[in-house]
Structure 1
Amino acid sequence: MLVLSRRSKDKVVFPQLGITIHFIRVQSGQVKIGIDAPREIKILRDELHTDEAAFERQLNLLPRDVRHGIRNELHQVSVGLHLFKELMIASLPEEADEVFVQIQEALGRLDAEEALNPPLKNGPKKNNGSVVLVEDQPNEREMLASVLRLKGVDVVALTNGTETIDYFRDNPAPRHLLIDMQMPECDGATAIKTLQSQGQLDSTTVFAVSGVSPEAYGISVGGDGVDSVDRWFPKPLNPTNLIDALTIAVG
Structure 2
Amino acid sequence: MNKKVLIVDDDPRNIFALTLTLKAKGYQIESCTMAQEAIDFLKKDNQFSIVLMDMMMPEMDGYEAVKIIRNTPEISHVPIIAVTAQAMPEDRQKCIDAGAQDYVSKPINVDQLMAVIQKYS
Which segments of 5 or more consecutive residues in structure 2 lack a partner in the other structure? none
* Distance (Å, rounded) in 2 between the aligned partners of 1:144 and 1:179: 12
Q: Which residue number in structure 1 is paired with residue 45 of structure 2?
A: 171
Q: Which residue number in structure 1 is paired with residue 119 of structure 2?
A: 248
Does the C-alpha gap of structure 1 residues 157 and 163 become closer, same or farther in structure 2, counting only changes over 3 Å? same
Post-superposition CA distance 1:152-196 (Å, at most 9, x none)? 011111111011111122222411010100011311111111111
Q: Which residue number in structure 2 is paired with residue 155 of structure 1?
A: 29
* Distance (Å, rounded) in 1 between the aligned partners of 2:115 and 2:60: 28
Report the TM-score when normalising by structure 1: 0.44
Q: Which residue number in structure 2 is paired with residue 15 of structure 1?
A: none
Q: Relative contact order (alpha carbons < 8 A, sep ≥ 6): 1 or 2 greater?
A: 2
Q: Which residue number in structure 2 is paired with residue 192 of structure 1?
A: 66
Is the 2:70–2:77 Cα contact (8 Å) retained in structure 1?
no
Is the 1:148–1:155 Cα contact (8 Å) retained in structure 2?
yes
Structure number with greater Rg is 1
User: Match for 2:20 among 131, 138, 146?
Assistant: 146
Is the 2:53–2:83 Cα contact (8 Å) retained in structure 1?
yes
Is the 2:2–2:47 Cα contact (8 Å) retained in structure 1?
no
Aligned residues: 120
Identity %: 26
* Distance (Å, rounded) in 1 between the aligned partners of 2:61 and 2:95: 16
Superposed CA RMSD: 2.3
Q: Which residue number in structure 2 is paired with residue 219 of structure 1?
A: 94
Matched letter for residue 65 of structure 2: A
Which segments of 5 or more consecutive residues in structure 1 lack a partner in the other structure? 1-126
